[in-house]
Amino acid sequence: MRELTIPESGPKRKLLDAAEQLFAEKGFEAVSVRDVTQFVKMNVAAVNYHFGSREGMLTLVILRYAGPVNEERLARLESAERKWAGKGLPLEEIIDAFVRPLLGQVRKTALSEGLFYKLLGRIFAENGDGLSPIIEERLRQTSDRFARAFGKALPTIGAEELVARIHFMTGGLVHLLTHQDMLANGASGLPSMEVTLTRFIRFAVAGLREGTDTEVVVKKGPQAMFDF
């Protein structure tokens, strides 16, 4: 196996750029090493020479952006916690720290905005489903850290309920990233990601904060258990 550092130029960089574009367009499984090498008119063997395997290339593609995104997430969260030390950290700030770093990384790539978000969406959608252990570990660290922050900000909500709500939120975020191009509405074109994320934060804050814990006493029949 070759080094796992991210190249700033040269043929490795060229391959990574091509791979990331194709992965974003068609998904991780739908792109072969031949697709990638032909895209930049290089030889098939180049991928295995530079990355050891297709998997190695995939790992680097993901690491190149998922890494910085997760780091910025944690940095923003800690900065916010310092700022609100003593007082309780508002829910909006946590969610903001979780989603806004997605915006920060988009300009560092040659990809179009939409494609970049799709790439990120695909990364977070798998969430350790066949991804390399390195990536999986980093994702887990981040989500654990945020889960604790959410718990502090929402002390009246039970653990099980909270886990569920966080899952709902992350699901919405993934869907938002991967289906961003479906948000276009008639006359006006696509809303900017800035606007979409702001909308998402409002949505998520409301859903997370809703009431307190859900009464989980299933009364009798399969469907008569609503009391909101």
Q: Which residues contact 81 (CB under 8 A, 6 or more apart)?
A: 89, 149
Q: Nearest distance from residue 67's CB to DNA, in Å?
A: 22
Q: Which is nearer to DNA, 14 or 209 (CB)?
A: 14
Q: Which residues contact 146 (CB under 8 A, 6 or more apart)?
A: 73, 77, 94, 97, 98, 166
CA angle 63, 64, 69 (to 5 degrees): 85
Q: Which is nearer to its own copies, 16 or 115 (CB)?
A: 115
Residues within window 16-75 making contact with DNA, judged by CB under 7 A: 31-35, 42-50, 53-55
Instruction: Report DSSP letters for 5-26, one per residue.
Output: PPPSSHHHHHHHHHHHHHHHHH
209 near DNA, judged by CB under 7 A: no
Letter for the amino acid at 131?
Answer: L
53 binds, among DNA, its own copies, none (CB under 5 to 8 A by kind): DNA
| Closest listed residue to residue 190, CA positions, set 113, 124, 102 | 113
Q: Which is nearer to DNA, 32 or 79 (CB)?
A: 32
45 binds, among DNA, its own copies, none (CB under 5 to 8 A by kind): DNA
84 binds, among its own copies, DNA, none (CB under 5 to 8 A by kind): none
Letter for the amino acid at 204?
Answer: A
Residues that bind its own copies (CB under 8 A): 29-30, 92, 96, 100, 103, 127, 159-161, 163-165, 167-176, 179, 182-183, 185-186, 188, 191-192, 194-196, 198-211, 214, 216, 218, 221-223, 225-226, 228
Q: Nearest distance from residue 40's CB to its own copies, in Å?
A: 25
